[in-house]
Amino acid sequence: MIPDFKNEAPTDFSDEKNQNAMLQAIKKAKNEYGREYELVIDGKKVKSDDKFASINPSNPDEVVGYAFSANREITERAIRAASKSFEEWKLVSPGIRARYLFKAAALMRKRKAELTAAIVLENGKNWVEADGDVAEAIDFLDYYAIRALQLAERQPLARIKGEDNELYYIPLGVGVVISPWNFPLAILTGMTVGPLVMGNSIVLKPASNTPVVAAKFMEIMEEAGVPDGVINLVYGSGSDIGHYLVSHPGIRFINFTGSREVGLYIVEEGNKIREGQKWIKRISAEMGGKNAIIIDSEAEVDSAVACVIASAFGYQGQKCSACSRAIIDEKIYDYTVQQLVEKTKAIRIGPAEDRENFMGPLIDQAALDKFLKYVEIGNSEGRILCGGSRLNKSGYYVEPTIFEGIEPRARLAQEEIFGPLLSLIKVKDFDQALDVANDTEYGLTGSVYSNNWSKLEKSRRDFHVGNLYFNRKSTSALVGVHPFGGYNMSGTGAKAGGNDYLLLFSQAKAVSEEL
């Protein structure tokens, strides 16, 4: 009997017991600072001639760990190991493959505080955001295991006399998973175990900012008993081993989450046919957004303001679903802006390990420099209402920033920034608000705040995003509840945490037998 899916509950950090568990986990994680993390190929730990430091963005003087970088020769070994393991892994029954995922989910639950602490220190997420990252990873394991079991059942076909007909799903082969740093456990887990549970083998290249979290994921999958070579972990730069993986003729599919620039390169490069390649590579790419929240004249403004702040400044605006444009009806504009600025100025900023801080640091110096560059652009395109500066602290801290007077086609209204920068756009009515919201090359998430049912229905039809929310924030999609993925330059249409996601990493085979 296939179990029902249930989302992992968030940890209640108002409970003193949970607070103490987190403090102990953070202390333990700091005691492991400076540890080396090897590559994993065919189940064996591998060192290379080069390694790099992973630092705590809340305090760059702290080295969370060192990871070894793969070169092309090591990467080729990983591809061969995955190819060899595929021949046996594809024969493992879906029920057994699902069992590995269920076991890994149970292990993550046991190690939840440890994983949350690792994300806090290496990624700069506050306690609640980091805990949500772990919970989402657990959800992906459980959900994809259940979905794989459903797909393994006899598929409904029309019946004809004299034939027995069957359709079932078979794996593709060896795939590359290139995961991002902003959800270092959740997205990495979902991108890896979805293809895995369908019988594919994986070469996993996590983001270089968060190798320690990736190593902990690998430990859990090994402890769950996943056979050697089914997942092979390689760290390294996208320009070197990333290119090698994407262009390799032995790779059957590529699963990518990251920037538009890199995603479009992967789509172009991955679709080239190389000598010895028998297939057209499947490419799934999730590439970000320029998400808008519309606040209509008939909205509950105070509720909308709270959710705009959560969407724009939660995890420092470093979510592909983050709100970066608030499109506000002129009739309620002044009060809404006054409330937004007042509440933004009250946000507490500091080290992610301090539970009281809502905002932590940006991920690294490059992110900080990019943010400050866009502040300069904003000063030429609009008027700053609050924020705009780097904080005088040792980490990569900046102020949450709001600009008004931004034109819909301005750079601040069109380009993904990936930082706590919100642009305000005043509109005369709801129709103009929808036109402005759709006037970007992206189409990932959006929210509409209104108590007018007809306006919500118009948005349902005309707001062109993959995830549309009414009277709630634009972030925090739940696995199995809000299948996640967008249109246009936001991606290739994959819906992570949805019913059809696993079909991207399988192919349907129909068999007919005359009776």
pLDDT digits over 138-154, tens only? 999 999 999 999 999 99
Write down the pLDDT at residue 458: 98
Question: Which of 276, 293, 283, 228 has its CA nearest to residue 434?
Answer: 293
Helix, strand, coil fractions of the chain, as percent rounded to 5: 40, 20, 35
* Six token digits for residue 362: 């940006």
Write down the pLDDT at residue 79: 98
Is residue 292 scored above 90 in pLDDT?
yes
Write down the pLDDT at residue 259: 94
Residues annotated catalytic, as ranges: 286, 320
Burial 447-457 (b: 16+ CB within 10 A, else e): bbbbeeeebbe
pLDDT, mean of residues 128-146: 98
Contact between 120 and 110 (Cβ < 8 Å): no
- Residue 325 CB: number of other CB atoms within 10 A? 26
Beta bridge partners of 424: 326
What would you measure as the largest C-alpha separation in the chain, in angstroms? Answer: 79
CA–CA dist 148, 102 (Å, integer): 12
Q: Give the model's confidence band at 330: pLDDT under 50 very low, under 70 low, under 90 confident, else very high.
A: very high
CA–CA dist 35, 121 (Å, integer): 14
- Per residue in 344-387, pLDDT tens? 999 999 999 999 999 999 999 999 999 999 999 999 999 999 99
pLDDT, mean of residues 184-197: 98
CA–CA dist 344, 341 (Å, integer): 5
Is residue 237 scored above 90 in pLDDT?
no
Is residue 238 scored above 90 in pLDDT?
no
Say which amino acid occupies 167.
Answer: L
pLDDT, mean of residues 273-286: 95
Is residue 258 scored above 90 in pLDDT?
yes
Which residue did the predictor score with more confidence, 394 or 307?
Answer: 307
Is residue 11 scored above 90 in pLDDT?
yes
Strands in 120-206 per DSSP E: 163-171, 174-178, 201-205
Q: Give the model's confidence band at 293: pLDDT under 50 very low, under 70 low, under 90 confident, else very high.
A: very high
Is residue 239 scored above 90 in pLDDT?
no
pLDDT, mean of residues 459-469: 98
pTM for the structure as a whole: 0.97
Say which amino acid occupies 372.
Answer: L
At 507 the three-state DSSP class reads: strand
Percent of the chain with pLDDT strictly greater than 90: 98
CA–CA dist 214, 22 (Å, integer): 20
CA atoms within 13 A on the CB side of 254: 32
Is the Cα torsion angle 58, 63, 66, 69 positive or negative in sign?
A: positive
Question: Which of 426, 425, 446, 420 has its CA nearest to residue 344?
Answer: 420
Q: What does residue 57 show for φ and ψ, rounded to 5 degrees?
A: -65, -20
* Six token digits for residue 87: 């021949």
Write down the pLDDT at residue 384: 98
- Per residue in 383-432, pLDDT tens? 999 999 999 878 999 999 999 999 999 999 999 999 999 999 999 999 99
Question: Which of 256, 370, 381, 264 has its CA nearest to residue 317?
Answer: 370
- Per residue in 28-82, pLDDT tens? 999 999 999 999 999 999 999 999 999 999 999 999 999 999 999 999 999 999 9
Percent of the chain with pLDDT strictly greater than 70: 100
- Per residue in 424-446, pLDDT tens? 999 999 999 999 999 999 999 99
* Six token digits for residue 42: 């065919």
* Six token digits for residue 10: 């968030």
- Could you tell me the domains of the chain? 21-155+165-287+493-514 (3.40.605.10), 291-478 (3.40.309.10)
